[in-house]
Amino acid sequence: MENTLLDTEVIFIIGKDGSEDGPQANVEAPMQRKTKLLQEYIMPKDKVSSKLFNGEITEGEVEVITGKANSAKELSAIVQVFFEDIANIKLSKQLDYFDYAVFGTVVSLYQEGIEYFTPLTVYRIITGNKKAKLTEKMKKEIETRIDKMRRTFVKIDVTKEQQGYKFEKVIFEGYLINAQKIKAIHKGKTGEWYQILQKPVLYEYAEAKKQIARLDLKLLNTPVSKTKETIKLQMYLQRRILDMKSQPFLNRDILLDKVYEECGISVYSGGFLRKKRKEIRDIIYKILTYWQQEGFIKGFKVNNKGKKAYSITIMT
């Protein structure tokens, strides 16, 4: 994962609306830290992040119960989410596990102190493969997700959580990804980068609660083709397994119908639906087998109802 923008270059700051930001244009600035292949993937695993990236929290205000079930302390956070519109572009006002994967990448870069990145950087981290090739289609997908999160404003009021956590402040707010686009001339060619401007707000919140997950990057380098669908699938599985690891009494079964729903395959029908479900199951088995070999899980068992695969039990 290499960032070729090193030393001193001519920087053109690009604002959120895509226009050059006047006085800051044509500024020379040093970018001396080289982007390296990270060793760790870092992601928030708190309940607010979980509900935001599985689509349960959309635009508006909602109270999220953050304490443990049957706990004597009723802990909750008030979450407000606002999606800014982009002229002539339709963006879903909902987040999913692909967004989660991209967001975790930005968190990982920030934590490593890496300020500048490209969609190729993101893709290579998501795949855990420093030699991964980025198609134009995937590049646009990643750019769309980054730009959407650059325009997604989140405010978390933790007043009701104060009795359970020692927060230094009661309001966490900001854009999911606080970054700007940069155009720069390097060796006579114009390139585009993103520059991280501030700690991601969800990461700041989760870190204050000590609800951060860390994964060896090699665990992301599973032996499956990395499409939008498989990235969402893998992110869903790793999040579920991380929850199981941190909560000993959590149900160890992953329902396949829920996985199909997360992958958005309910639009299929008939024989094609059966074929698609089998395809998804085969991908799941490959991912879980790889994770078992790498020691992330101890094993897994496929459960059937009649002749139909119904769920997968994870041994953590």
pLDDT at 28: 39
- Domain residue spans of the chain: 36-178+201-215, 222-316
pLDDT tens readout for residues 36-45: 567 899 999 9
CATH code, 222-316: 3.30.1370.230
Predicted local confidence at residue 90, as pLDDT? 74
pLDDT in tens, 250-292: 899 999 998 988 877 665 556 678 888 899 999 999 999 999 9
Q: Whole-model pTM? A: 0.87
Q: Is the pLDDT of residue 33 over 50?
A: no
Say how far apart CA 296 and CA 316 lie, in whole Å: 8
Portion of the chain with pLDDT greater than 90, in percent: 62
